[in-house]
Amino acid sequence: MLEIHDLTKRYGSVLALDGVAFDVAPGRIVGFLGPNGAGKTTTMRAIFGLVRADAGEVRWRGRPVSPEARVRFGYMPEERGLYPKMRIGEQLAYFAELSGMTGTAARQAVATWLGRLGLSDRSDARVEELSHGNQQRVQLAAALVHQPDLVVLDEPFSGLDPIGVEAMAEMLVETAAMGVAVLFSSHQLDLVEDVCQDVVIIDHGRVVLSGVLDDLRATSVHRSLEVTVNGEPWVPPMAGEVAGKRGGHVRVLVDSTTDVDEILADARRTGDVTSFRFEPPSLTDLFLEAVSEGRDT
Amino acid sequence: MNAWRQLWLVARREWSQRVRTAAFKVSTVLSVAVVVVLIAVPEIYGAGEERTRMVGVVGDASRAPADLIEATGKQLDVEADTRAFDSELAGRRALREGNVQVLLIDGSELVWEADPDERLRAVVTAAVAAVDRQAAIADLGLTAEEAARLLQPPDLASSSLEPVTTEEATARADLARIGLILLFMAIAFYCGFVLTGVIEEKASRVVEVLLSRVRPTELLAGKVLGIGLVGLAQFAIVATSGVVAYRFSEDVTLAPNTAPGALAWMVFWFVLGYAFYSVLYATVGSLVSRQEEAQSVQLPVTGVLLVAYLFSFAAAESPDGTAAVVTSMLPPTSPMVMTVRIANGTVPWWQIASSIVLMLVTLVGLLQLAGRIYAGSVLRIGRRVRWREAWHGAKA
């Protein structure tokens, strides 16, 4: 279990982290969300000691993170980086050995990973000779090659095409299934919703919402409502603000205590109900709500 | 995870990546070629210089006896011999073909191919004058004793203000100069690798992947160590080929007693000098994110290195002067100046010891400072990091 306790970090007049606290449990995938500049990268760097927090601490398995524990972590920074002229096989083996593997174990792990990524025959290729997609795969392998206990990925989906996104999501799910704690940041919320079990939403250096995604959605005080009557979008009179429009649909957020039957009856009085959706709010709804509430207070 | 093992892994990567590059192979081959040529060419050239100079003799040979020309030549440090020709035509042909350097006709006329060789002219003139004197003595009917008195050269007392330059001292000075140039080139060359290596890791952003596993100090020290070992290996190859080239040449001017000791000291000071300057270069390199900025950011360090180089040239002129003694003890200049002084002669052991101690103490302090600045700046991608930001960045 990774525990982040009240991390605070100030850069000059900017308070980058203002008491950030959350946990990442083994086998869980935690989506770490927030607008640009919210403090996601700073928090991730603090886990690896790349940023020293002014206050608070990061604990792993109940103890402050030691260098021995840290080499059992895997990290994919937002700024992707590999040695452009080094052969990928050697490069991955180098990273694995730096993380404490023996030479033999490292070579075996590299062979396994290259096979998994479909790059077995390119072990001697230099990074700069690979396609962008393959470079991304090698980058991910660099974070995972030493079979880490915790994996931290900063914006793993950015710059990937839909196939790459799919492969990355699959890889994260497989990794977590092996009992690895996975933390990743993103602002592509629709992707996160499909991949992660837990979310932590951060804004202005503070955690504004965190928990199991399904629970958060279920316990939200809002419900998402989307109705069409006679093929036209229909909004009940008591509805609040419009949460989204797409094509011929209008989605509104209503109170979770709203009586569904009553709304449906209302709609029927207006005409033929052609579609009716009443469901917990999406992650995007939760996110926008949490961020705006956080800013109001 | 053992920090030493990580340091070694970083060094091993630098080694294995660099010895494979074309740059390493080409520069090694070139250095070997340059050293061999430098040693072999003076040998060939020198052999030409010292070749016996032939005096062609035509007609009356009595005024130019071969033994007299040879003896006079020895006095004037010219190896000379004679060769007789039947006709002036044959003599002139030999002159044109370069078989003789001057033609003496009837003991009274000198013919040159082009520019006269003044030393050879002096030899022939002195020989002819000696023959003439002998003839005059015979004409005057002097006794052997009177003749000896007449020919007795004056016995002039001779002394020098400064110690006489022995062959050994000349050899030492030559060695010091060659060693100095090699040392400067080696330090500048390998420190350049460290500088570009540090910037490369920052420019390719791989540094953050590395630093999630390794502490900045191990990364920095491993890089310096790995590139230093490449430097030593290259030096060993070049030095070995130089020694082999000497074996084949018969040049004895490089005093065999001096060379091994001075060479060992040179390697020793290369290690210290390289360590000192490479850490400086790595530190300034960590401030920038693009290779294009390397040129401007390295200027202050290169400036210091050049100043040290100039001081060591001054030290080569007077190895025991105050300036030389002082600069050979202080860290920025000591690696090069001390190398020159040691190669040039005897340096008191306490001066060598204190310069080594001062250098080591400075290195320890420098590593602390550089490690902090490096750690504080290496993750700041983008514009050039200011010293202040780097300093506070690491602490924060």
**Rounded alpha-carbon distances, angstroms, from residue B235 to A101, B89, B264, B270, B396:** 33, 57, 12, 10, 42
A78 closest CA partner among A172, A3, A184:
A184
CA distance B45 to B356: 40
Tokens at B165, concatenated: 């330059």
Cβ contact, residue pair B211, A50, below 8 Å: yes
> Which H or E element spans position B49?
helix B22-49
CA distance B358 to A71: 37
**Rounded alpha-carbon distances, angstroms, from residue B375 to A51, B289, B380:** 10, 14, 10
- The DSSP annotation for B52-102 comes to PEEEEEES--TTS-HHHHHHHHHHTT--EEEEEESSHHHHHHHHHHTS-SE
Task: State how far residue B253 is from chain A, nearest Cα, in angstroms.
Answer: 47
Contacts of A258-266 spanning 24+ positions with Cβ under 8 A = A258/A223, A258/A225, A263/A225, A263/A227, A263/A236, A266/A236, A266/A237
CA distance A66 to A48: 10
Tokens at A65, concatenated: 């993170």
H-only helix segments in B204-258? 206-211, 216-248
The answer to whether the Cα torsion of B280, B282, B288, B290 is positive or negative is: positive
- Contact list in B for residue A68 (CB cut-off 8 A) is 1
Residues in CB range of A251: below 8 A, 6 or more apart: A224, A225, A226, A242, A243, A244, A245, A277
Task: State how far residue A67 is from chain B, nearest Cα, in angstroms.
Answer: 7
CA distance B190 to B186: 6
pLDDT in tens, A187-227: 888 888 889 999 999 999 999 999 999 999 888 888 888 88
Tens digit of pLDDT at every position of chain B (396 positions): 588 999 999 999 999 999 998 888 998 999 888 888 877 766 555 554 556 788 898 887 777 677 788 888 888 778 888 888 888 888 899 888 888 889 988 888 889 988 888 888 888 888 888 888 888 888 888 887 888 887 777 788 888 787 666 667 777 777 777 778 888 888 888 999 999 999 999 888 899 999 999 988 889 999 999 999 999 998 888 878 877 777 776 554 554 555 667 778 888 888 999 999 999 999 999 888 888 888 888 899 999 999 999 888 888 877 788 888 888 888 889 888 888 888 877 788 888 999 999 999 999 888 888 888 888 888 777 778 888 787 877 654
Phi, psi of A191 (to 5 degrees): -70, -45
Cβ–Cβ under 8 Å, residues A10 and A16: yes
Tell me the Cα Rg of chain B: 31
Phi, psi of B63 (to 5 degrees): -85, 0
ipTM: 0.86
Cβ contact, residue pair A77, B204, below 8 Å: no
H-only helix segments in chain A? 40-47, 67-70, 88-98, 103-116, 132-144, 162-177, 189-195, 213-219, 260-270, 283-296
Beta strand ranges found along chain B (DSSP E): 53-58, 80-85, 102-105, 109-112
**Rounded alpha-carbon distances, angstroms, from residue A263 to A219, A227, A234, B24, B235:** 21, 10, 11, 79, 87
Task: State how far residue A82 is from chain B, nearest Cα, in angstroms.
Answer: 5
CA distance A4 to A214: 22
Query: Which of B193, B209, B377 to mutate: most A Cβ within 10 Å?
Result: B209
Q: How many CB atoms lie within 10 A of CB B138?
A: 10
CA distance B311 to B283: 24
- Contact list in B for residue A54 (CB cut-off 8 A) is 396
